[in-house]
A and B are shown apart, each in its own frame.
Chain A
Amino acid sequence: MSRYVFEAVHVLDFSWVGVGPIVTKYLADNGAEVIRIESAARPDVLRIAPPWKDGLPGINHSQFFASFNTSKKSVTLDLNQPKARELALRLVPWADVIGESFTPKAMRKWGMDYEQLKKIKPELIMFSTCMQGQTGPNAMYPGFGQLAAALSGFYYISGYGPSDPPSPPYGAYSDFVAPRLLGAAVIAALDYRRRTGKGQYIDMSQYEAALHNLAPAIIDYFATGRVLGPHGNRSQRFAPHGAYRCRDEEGAERWIAIAVAGDQEWRAMLAVLGDPACDSKFATVAGRLAHFEALDECVSRLVSDREAGALTTELQAAGVAAYPVQNCMDLHQDENLEAFGFWNWLEHKEMGHCVYEGLQHRMSRTPGELRSAGPVLGQHTDEVLTGMLGLSAAEIEQLRNERVVF
């Protein structure tokens, strides 16, 4: 039995930024050998994006990049140069999976699209993922996940109410929807190839993938014309349902999220909050849903002097769903994430000891793990060019002088 699930799987990864690298991270953390081909002339934008080690910028100082590229190797090849493409093509026979996430013209321009690459390796599995897919009038749309999140409806459904401006999700939201779906397809395709010997091409539009998280609203619109809009934290099922401000701690505001399902939970909550009588109009689910604004005010009043952490413990003990609204500082002190072993400290070649988000799942028999920190730019260029392509030190030096490799 091999130690890691994808131990014998080889991945040549031309993708960059979020979705592609997160997909190949699933493979890399489970043992696949993933070689990222990076351009030094036009580096992955994550390489220069914060957070940086000690807050200091630098091409090898981005924790953002390091986190999305754990367990991988980095080789620098400037694919705009024919010699670099020649070298990349020589790695194709080795690869089981090739990934890329440029706008659709890039790989074609380099003669490295699926049609070309499958001539070298017919059983290749290749994925392309861009904002809006490889075909259609908007295929060339440039962008990143922040825009895809607006395009796929998530900005529109986030906010306090229909007359308020949107309150968008943080960051490139769709970048955290698409990879799980694309990764599932790639893994299933690998298994299929193992059974049949057949490779294939996978075209994922990140926009389309994200729309799966909006599916009920899409069905509703086509069926009845209703347009889902923002409505704060109001729910049609739970009341109360929202974030309620607790007592400040160390000068910072604290909130608790609470969702109450039925009358029994409601009474349990009131017992904890010390107001068993409360207003009788809140006694039934229908009453609470109907008077949700007054209800929110009532709950806010009852929790305003409580400590969010202690109140969570009490409410949960009474069978009420609650948790502090955590900021990023809190996450690092969260006992449940800690107990799951979520935080991993890894040694990065330039950043040294840094904390990484671990896997979001755990497998009992063949667990994956963050096998190494993200690579510095070109960390494995020599290793790969010498070890896999048989280039001599002098030849590599020559390529460096020509800026083919970095």
Chain B
Amino acid sequence: MTCELLKGFRMLDLADEKGALCGKLITDLGADVIKVEPPGGCSTRNIPPFLEDQPGPDRSLYFLAYAAGKRSVTLNLESPDGRALLADLARKSDFLVESYPLGYLDSIGLGYEALSKLNPRLVYTSITPFGDRGPGKDYKAEDIVTWAAGGMMYLMGEEGKPPLEMALPQAGLHAGGEAAIASLIAHYSRQSDGLGQRVAVNMQACIVWTLMNEQAMPILHGDHLERTGVYTGGLGARKKMVYQCRDGYISSVVGGGASTKALVDWLAEAGFAADWMKQKDWSFWTPGLFMKATEKDLQEIEELEDCIQRFFNTMTKREIYDNALKRRLLLAPVASVTDIAADVQLKARNFLVSVPCDTLGRTLTMPGPFAKLSETPLDPPRRAPRLGEHNQEVLGDWLGLSADRLKQLRNSGAI
């Protein structure tokens, strides 16, 4: 069963790690997404780590995750025949997404101007690190560089230590998600008037958007945040976001209201609460959230955090989280993939699914559909393609190329 949302629609996916998630999401919605790879394979096939640490074109965990369900065609865009084939495929496609350096596809006759003449319906989405106009329009940018340029890196890490990115780079995933929704906005328009358009996604801007409006602080408050490790700051308060426990960490912030009241009750039951905590009315206690924290607030925060820390030291993540669920605390375990794999909620919703991968002679487990739709369920993931696996199918079926012609193209290095 193919998801009916985009069933019958086709996307040419020429994006690397700056936009691989775009084609993956469009695949989930039911479209036929063709990954157009150079004869040596897309660079995303070479992203480590590899399955069992054995490098190979079908073993990159990144590729296995974000090329899932796509089909693969190899085209040598450096050869005239390869370019002509891409143009022919574009005539029969609805979407194209790419993340080449700005101007590269234009320079080989495959830019929006050229392809939209062949197919005015085409939605042509380009992802660039720094937009298409500024002094940095031709800048090179690996994930960590846009993470830094967009402002998230500055805020991650501890004072006096280097700013951080995550162990699994994220900037390209944000850009890929944005490319997907922007392509669909253009799609909605095209489906009413038959005209496609060019969509330009700006990776740096995608990261700025993740800052939860922190960007406005300098202008409105004349201030900006610094890196504060496990603390969250602002308005004179400094609160812990992360507590240690017996086997890891717990995330929670003392914010007042019902959750803090419930947490204090629990501390009291276990003998970890000070007397003043039991007597205090926590309902309107929100220092550093909606008002500036006073000296007294700061002292209360510190004492309360200290009690929580001593209490959490006695328990595991699991025990604390189970209690939090019962007591309706605003709290989460700092979950590792081990915790995620064991989570009862994900199991109850059948979120993680097994995907047979004959290319590897095994099944893989990966995230299932990103939402549950009642009328048109999203497609569960299918395995990532082998390099050029669908040359025959796609070039043969879409373009009507004969077996002889395909052989010829293969011999000339076009595919």
Contact = CB atoms under 8 A, between A and B. Distances in A.
B153 A208 contact: no
25 contacts: A26-B181, A48-B290, A136-B349, A142-B330, A144-B330, A156-B335, A158-B164, A167-B158, A167-B229, A168-B241, A169-B155, A180-B178, A181-B181, A184-B29, A188-B6, A211-B367, A218-B366, A220-B51, A335-B136, A339-B137, A340-B130, A354-B220, A357-B205, A361-B201, A366-B186
Interface in A321-354: 321-332, 334-340, 342, 354
Interface stretch (B207-215, B295-303, B405-413): B207-215
Given A176-B174, A208-B349, A365-B195, 18 more contacts: A55-B220, A133-B345, A136-B348, A150-B332, A169-B166, A169-B210, A180-B180, A184-B180, A185-B371, A222-B341, A241-B144, A257-B147, A321-B139, A324-B149, A339-B135, A340-B205, A342-B205, A364-B112
Contacts of B141: 321, 323
A157 B340 CA distance: 13
Nearest to A365: B197
A154 B335 CA distance: 8
A157 B225 contact: no
B170 interface: yes
Given A151-B333, A218-B367, A201 B373 contact: yes
Interface in A67-116: 67-68, 114
B144 A166 contact: no
Interface string B349-370: 1011000000000101111101
Given A156-B335, A189-B376, A329-B224, A363 B197 contact: yes
A134 B68 CA distance: 26
B185 A5 contact: yes
A399 interface: no
Contact of B337 (A55, A227, A238): A227
Interface in B1-50: 4-6, 21, 25, 29, 47-49
Contacts of B271: none
Contacts of A261: 142
Interface stretch (A229-237, A275-283, A382-390): A229-237
B244 interface: yes
B51 to A, nearest CB: 6
A63 interface: yes
A155 B168 contact: no
Interface stretch (B57-65, B69-77, B81-89, B396-404): B57-65
Contact of A153 (B144, B206, B235, B336): B336
Interface in B230-244: 230, 234-235, 241-242, 244
A223 interface: yes
A152 interface: yes
A233 B179 CA distance: 26
B202 to A, nearest CB: 5
A36 interface: no
A176 B156 CA distance: 16
Point out which of B62, B177, B221, B253 has the most chain A C-beta atoms below 10 A from its C-beta: B177
B388 interface: no
B256 to A, nearest CB: 12
A151 B173 contact: no
A173 B132 CA distance: 27
Main secondary structure, interface of A, reads mixed
Given A63-B213, A185-B373, A227 B51 contact: no
Contact of A172 (B145, B212, B226, B367): B212
Contacts of B145: 257-259, 321-323
B239 to A, nearest CB: 11
A152 B251 contact: no
A342 B174 CA distance: 16
A301 B249 CA distance: 35
Contacts of A230: 167
Contact of A218 (B162, B187, B220, B341): B341
Contacts of A337: 131, 134, 204-205, 208
Given A146-B241, A191-B187, A215-B66, A362 B334 contact: no
Contacts of A191: 5, 184, 187-188, 191
Given A1-B193, A132-B345, A167-B157, A319 B140 contact: yes
A63 B229 contact: no
B275 interface: no
Interface in A357-401: 357-366, 368
Interface string A119-154: 000000000000011111111111110111011111
Given A201-B373, A337-B205, A355-B219, A157 B166 contact: yes
B379 interface: no
Contacts of A214: 168, 337, 340, 367
Contacts of B112: 364
B328 interface: yes
B52 interface: yes
Nearest to B167: A157
B279 interface: no
Given A166-B230, A340-B131, A362 B152 contact: no
A192 B187 CA distance: 11
B154 interface: yes
Contacts of B153: 243, 257, 325
B259 interface: yes
A141 B346 CA distance: 13
B365 to A, nearest CB: 4
Interface in B248-267: 249, 251-253, 259
Given A49-B289, A136-B348, A150-B335, A155 B139 contact: no
Interface in B311-356: 325, 328, 330-338, 340-341, 344-346, 348-349, 351-352
Given A155-B334, A327-B224, A189 B373 contact: yes
A81 B227 CA distance: 45
A237 B62 CA distance: 13
Point out which of B49, B134, B184 has the most chain A C-beta atoms below 10 A from its C-beta: B184
Nearest to B179: A361
A250 interface: no
Contacts of A169: 152, 155-156, 166, 210
Given A168-B241, A208-B367, A328-B218, A57 B229 contact: no
A327 B151 contact: yes
A64 interface: yes
Given A188-B29, A205-B349, A328 B217 contact: yes
Contacts of A160: 157-158, 161, 164
Nearest to B375: A200
A274 interface: no
